[in-house]
Each structure stands twice: as C-alpha cells, then as structure tokens.
Amino acid sequence: MLAVLSPGQGSQKPGFLAPWLELPGAEARLRWWSALSGVDLVHLGTQADADEIKDTARTQPLLVAAALLAAERLPMHDVSVVAGHSVGELGAATLGGALSAEAAVTLAGVRGREMAAACALEPTGMSAVLGGDPAEVLAAIETHGLFPANRNGAGQVVAAGAIDALAKLAAEPPAKARVIALSVAGAFHTPFMAPAEQALATVAAGITPADPTRILLSNLDGAAVAHGRELLTRLVRQVTAPVRWDLCMRTLADLGVTAVIELPPAGTLAGLIKRELKANGIEIVTLNTPDDLPAACDLVARHGTAPSHEPSPQFRVVVASTAGLFLPVDGLAEGDSVRTGQIIGHVSTRQGPVEVAAHGDGLLTEWLAHHDDPVAPGQPLARIGGQPA
C-alpha cells in the first residue's frame, strides 16, 4: 500500500521550484494559482531568498502549489492513502479528491495571510523540544502556560505560546530534553490563531467539497475522513488545533503502508517516518526535482494499486474514523440498498459509540469488517457500489 505525503511550513528552500518550471505547462499552472492565492508563486519558488519565503503569507500557498504541481506528474490513480502536515493538509485534500486544486490554493492564500496577521497581534513563537520522557515534556509545556502545537513523534514535540514563556521553558527544560527556538512568525496551531480560524471559516463556507476518493488522514487525530464537509470543518479547526502527526504515522502503520512518496519540498516528513517507523521497513522516495520522478513512479508501480484494463464497477469504501470494535447494524446484509448518510454500524470506543455512515447511494456489496472486529482509523469497513434498488 502506497501513501503520498504533502509537507508543511519550514520545509521550503530558496529556488526549490526552479527545476519544475522547465516542465511543459508548469509555469502556466503557477501563474493561474498565483492569481488565486494573491502571491507571485513563480517568483517565490525560483528567485526569492530564504527570508522572503519564510513569510507565512507567502509560504503557505507556495507549499500547497508545489505539492500539487509535482503530484500532477504522478500516476495518482494507483495511490491508496494521502496525508499532509499542517498546511500540507490542503494539498492532501486535493489529492484525496475532496477539494479542487483551485480551492486548495485559494484557501492556502487566505490561511497564510490571516495567520500572519494573527502573529502580528502579540509576540509569540515556537520551540522544538527534542528527547525526554513524553509525559514529562507535555507536563512541562503545560506548566509554563504553553501549548503542544505539533506532536511529530520520534521524540519531537513543538511547544508554542508567549515568547517569555518559551524562554522559561528553554531555561528549565524537561530532563534529558533539548529546547531549540524555531524561526517562525508566531504560535501556530494554538488559540493565538483564533482570528485566523474565524477568517478562514468565512471563506471555507463558500466551498462545496466532495467526499474523499482515497483514504485521507487528518492531523486532528490521525483518523481517515470519509465526508467532504467534515474534512472542511477539520481543515478550518486545524488552524488552532495541534498537529498530531504522530497519530497520522500510527495510522500509516496500522493500514500496512509499505511505501511513501513525499512531495516537494521533501525530506522533513520522510525523516520523521524513518525514525518512527523504521521497524516497519517502509520504502521512501523524496520527490524534490523532476529527476526523482522515475524513482517515484517505480515506487507507485511496485506498491500502488494494481491497474486493471478490464471494465469494473465503481465502489465506495466506508472506513473507520477511529479505533475500536466494529458493530454493524443488525439486519443489514450484503446486497441491501443503502442511502447517503444512512448509519450502517458503529465503532465502540472507550468514549462511547461512533457512528459509521454511508457516503453514497448504492448496494452494500461486501462487509470488509464484521461484528466485534477490532479496527484502526482508516481501516475499510464496507464496500458500497452499483445503484440502490
């Protein structure tokens, strides 16, 4: 099983898009997306220096555009899973079939501008906390009035909040941990970004998303999101909510992902996966220039969904949004008609039952999980296809 990942802010490098603009049609795409995002993506990706592309208002649409530009050169129809880190979720939402490229780039432009404006309201920042006992690290962050903005796994938590509180954390680090200040504009993924979340919600309300056609993981909890409207709500909420990349990686392992392609500018997420999931033997390609495309396409051919030249019915797969025990609805059998929104089962969790709904009309052609089966986030539960009777 193959996953394609879209990186987040901090991974950009000066001139990283220059090789891609040599490909036919690439510059025209970037010119169009520049008009939608309100920034000159061609200049930012080719000529801008490190300080210019560090500006949040510019960086966010640049990263989303870069991921989409490269993904257009991949055989995405053979990709099973997509995920993104922070603003990379917008790119992943497009690759997952939930948002158009135009919507993703437009939202990235709004998100970047509004988060930059929120950063200017008061002095805040972020620091990486490396090593230490995870529970002690989180306790220290809370003690200093800070927020765990990113939980990236592999012994890395990013604390965010007021500058003076970050300085105190650095002066009194948790045992066996190092605190490194990050060069960012403010406390992303914390309540300090509330004005940006509200502004993004206003724009997002005008977008009509589709239901994902691939397994699309959410930073909120690592769960697979089955419904477009829920996805859009999560994308907006993520502006102030922590990035749980550790849970996304756990879901990749639970799904049995065997290979990963990280889109440009690649390297950060690949490094986290190498450290966190090294025992899983996942094969990784970092797609940074068009020269990496042959290796990426080879990975898709070997680990992606095997293509078929025979006509086949179109199916929708209903997946679990959380871990627990699956309980299908009594009396619902293979061959029965189901309607959009119909509850077909529940996942029993410690917090209570979580409903599982069909996200399309059709026939319940196959149960992929059965009564009391343990399921993980993103695990397929049922297949729906054809037309309802």
| Measured CA angle at 138 (ends 151, 236), to 5 deg | 45
CATH of 315-385, one of 3.30.450.20, 2.50.20.10, 2.40.50.100, 3.30.930.10: 2.40.50.100
**Mean per-residue pLDDT over the chain, rounded:** 91
Confidence band of 88 (pLDDT split at 50, 70, 90): very high
DSSP structure class, residue 151: E
Q: Is there a contact between 6 and 12 (Cβ–Cβ < 8 Å)?
A: no
User: Cα separation of 153 and 250, whole Å?
Assistant: 9
User: Cα separation of 26 and 12, whole Å?
Assistant: 18
Stated pTM of the model: 0.80
User: Cα separation of 318 and 155, whole Å?
Assistant: 33
Catalytically annotated residue among 85, 144, 189, 227:
189
Catalytically annotated residue among 86, 127, 218, 321:
86
Q: What is the pLDDT of residue 359?
A: 72
What tokens were used for 158?
A: 């990013």
pLDDT exceeds cutoff 50 at 22:
yes
Model pLDDT for residues 105-152, shown as the tens digit of each residue: 999 999 999 999 999 999 999 999 999 999 999 999 999 999 999 999
Other residues' Cβ atoms within 10 Å of the Cβ of residue 161: 24
User: Cα separation of 51 and 218, whole Å?
Assistant: 30
> What is the CATH code for 121-181?
3.30.70.250
Largest CA distance in the chain: 67
Per the DSSP assignment, residues forming a β-bridge with 126 are: 160
227 is catalytic: no
189 is catalytic: yes
Model pLDDT for residues 298-327, shown as the tens digit of each residue: 999 999 874 333 343 445 678 787 788 999
- Same CATH fold, 121-181 and 2-118+191-303? no
Q: Is there a contact between 158 and 228 (Cβ–Cβ < 8 Å)?
A: no
Give me the count of residues in the chain. Answer: 389
Domain boundaries, the chain: 2-118+191-303, 121-181, 315-385
What's the CATH fold of domain 2-118+191-303? Malonyl-Coenzyme A Acyl Carrier Protein; domain 2 (3.40.366)
What tokens were used for 238?
A: 């993520």
